[in-house]
Chains A and B, each alone.
Chain A
Amino acid sequence: MKTIVKITDLSKTYESGQQALKNINLDIYDGEILALLGPNGAGKTTLISIICGIVSASSGSVTVAGHDIISGYRITREMIGLVPQELTLGAFDTVWNTVNFSRGLFGKKPDAVFIEKLLKDLSLYDKKDDELRELSGGMRRRVLIAKALSHEPRILFLDEPTAGVDVELRKDMWKLVRGLNESGVTIILTTHYIAEAEEIADRVGIINDGELLLVDQKQALMRDLGKKHLVLEMKQVVESLPESLSEYNLDISADGKQLTYTYQTHGNRTGITALLQSLHEAGLALKDLKTSQTSLEEIFVKLVRRDR
């Protein structure tokens, strides 16, 4: 896949001495949806802010479509749209003016037809003459998205886009993100809601304490790091396990009616066939069985804990 954003040995230490990023290396591919997961203060916003030109890096480099973000800032910034985490908007501008302002700021000529369509897509058109201070939080979030999309960027950064957003707007937002992605826009979103990353992203990067712990395809991440649980519902109550089953480390439920076997999904041999054989030989009959996979959240928590 073609790399559109290349981050090399990127570090950032603020004047306060806080090291926000530690030697980050990351390739973002053209046309993908990448979710950067991490707890508050992990360095997600700093990383995005450096790429967009709001924060200066202490060391390292970033290129966008092959252009350095410092020496080629005009080209790189034209390609990028940013939806910030905070509802950072003026108060007295109208929706129409502020979105047109953003388009002009990024060097694009006025295009009333495009802006009208954009506002309609975001259900903002009937509010176009309202002042920003009159809008609700959700509407202001939509305005920020409209501003970021006003210059038709190739790459869109969404920094915690669903923080404090209601269910309806969240659904609309994901629909919009998917639509943009289908039209070729590369999406990078930060979130600490694992469910969001699981739902929408192609790849997931996990950041903690300024370090990029892992970046991988979502499915691969869950496959490689994920464990599966095989829950066996027994016909009779099992009070203790026979010696022949000790190697499987089975957990017995409190009522003795369920046995749980945990296994790695990436192994060639899961041990399930042997387990079932052993159970049969031990005279234990099954009533039912089911499997469940470790969620991204469990993987995330495990990685962050390991990092600490």
Chain B
Amino acid sequence: MNIQAIRVIYKNEMLRAWNTLLQSLASPVISTSLYFVVFGAAIGSRIEEIDGVAYGVFIVPGLVMLSLLTQSIANASFGIFFPKFTGAIYEVMSAPISFFEIIVGYVGAAATKSLILGVIILITANLFVDLHIAHPFWMMTFLILTCISFSLFGFIIGLWATNFEKLQLIPMLIITPLVFLGGSFYSISMLPPAWQTVTLFNPVLYLISGFRWSFFEVADVSVEISLAMIMVFLACCLALVWWMFKTGYRLRQ
């Protein structure tokens, strides 16, 4: 295994985040704080408790997931798209490095950045609301699995995208709506029965539900199903990225 290659890719990607600290960390933290102010304090104070949890507290897992998903995708997709865009990817393609090592380097760094961000948002949330985590181990498990799988998904988008517009297309048109409609700000039991059924087809629902269960022991779907769904998503992403490297899709002519 080319450990040195993994090390330099990981270090380089982390360095990029450090150089753009304001964009990488401050921006999502500020926007999440604004969500707390608007939805938690201003609107939340007029909303009843959901499953015995105050609304301001109830939205914390959803808000963390919102930032985690969008930032995991953004970090990983840009990390691989930019060298493709500048042409510097030639070096990675000509190096003695396997596709698995490339993924560990790029996706590992993107997932690490998202994980740090998730923890910072949780700390920020604790400043606004009294947060209690019922199952810290499962909370971290969901957090880490989400960071890895969506960083991998972002990496796939970065490989697929041929321009900056495409890079933004899936996060803006698919991921953000799925997160908002996946129960970030509400329990699906609050929806009419027909919409509850529709929502069950939204994979993000399972992430948020499982993550929320680790905090409050309340969930829209069972924890086992949530865990299984995220593992299936991870496996699908791995299979897709393996195929992309094997065929050289948009990397090797």
The answer to whether A and B belong to the same complex is yes
Residues of A within 8 A of B8 (CB): 100-101, 103-105
Decide: A53 near B87, CB < 8 A? Known: A100-B8, A104-B4, A104-B5: no
Binds A, one of B11-19, B179-187, B230-238: B11-19
Question: In the complex the two chains form, what is the Cα distance from A92 to B13 in whole Å?
Answer: 12
Contact of A54 among B4, B19, B252 (CB under 8 A): B252
Question: In the complex the two chains form, what is the Cα distance from A52 to B248 in whole Å?
Answer: 14
Residues of B within 8 A of A121 (CB): none
The count of chain B contact residues (Cβ–Cβ below 8 Å) is: 26
Q: Are B88 and A88 in contact (CB under 8 A)?
A: yes
Contact of A82 among B15, B16, B90, B97 (CB under 8 A): B90
Chain B residue at minimal CB-CB distance from A102:
B91
Q: Are A89 and B86 in contact (CB under 8 A)?
A: yes
From DSSP, what is the main secondary structure of chain B's interface residues?
A: helix
Residues of B within 8 A of A109 (CB): 4
Q: Are A107 and B90 in contact (CB under 8 A)?
A: no
B158 to chain A, nearest CB (A): 15
Decide: A90 near B253, CB < 8 A? Known: A82-B94, A107-B2, A107-B4: no
Decide: A53 near B93, CB < 8 A? Known: A90-B86, A92-B19: yes
Residues of B within 8 A of A89 (CB): 86, 88
Chain B residue at minimal CB-CB distance from A86:
B87
Chain A residue at minimal CB-CB distance from B102:
A105
Q: Are A91 and B5 in contact (CB under 8 A)?
A: no
Chain A residue at minimal CB-CB distance from B105:
A105
Q: Are A105 and B91 in contact (CB under 8 A)?
A: yes
Chain B residue at minimal CB-CB distance from A48:
B94
A177 to chain B, nearest CB (A): 20
Contact of B87 among A56, A88, A104 (CB under 8 A): A88
- A residues 1-44 near B (Cβ < 8 Å) are 14-15
Decide: A90 near B88, CB < 8 A? Known: A80-B94, A101-B12, A107-B96: yes
Chain B residue at minimal CB-CB distance from A101:
B8
Residues of A within 8 A of B86 (CB): 88-91
B245, CB-defined interface residue at 8 Å? no
A55, CB-defined interface residue at 8 Å? yes
Residues of A within 8 A of B87 (CB): 84, 86, 88
Interface 1/0 per residue, A52-90 and B, CB below 8 Å: 111110000000000000000111111010101010111
Q: Are A53 and B12 in contact (CB under 8 A)?
A: no
Contact of B97 among A92, A97, A105, A108 (CB under 8 A): A105
Residues of B within 8 A of A53 (CB): 93-94, 252
Question: In the complex the two chains form, what is the Cα distance from A103 to B156 in whole Å?
Answer: 26
Question: In the complex the two chains form, what is the Cα distance from A80 to B93 in whole Å?
Answer: 12
B38, CB-defined interface residue at 8 Å? no
Q: Are B4 and A97 in contact (CB under 8 A)?
A: no
Residues of A within 8 A of B4 (CB): 103-109
A residues near B, CB below 8 A?
Answer: 14-15, 52-56, 73-78, 80, 82, 84, 86, 88-93, 97, 100-109, 147
* Leading 4 A-B pairs by shortest Cβ distance: A104-B8, A88-B87, A77-B96, A74-B96
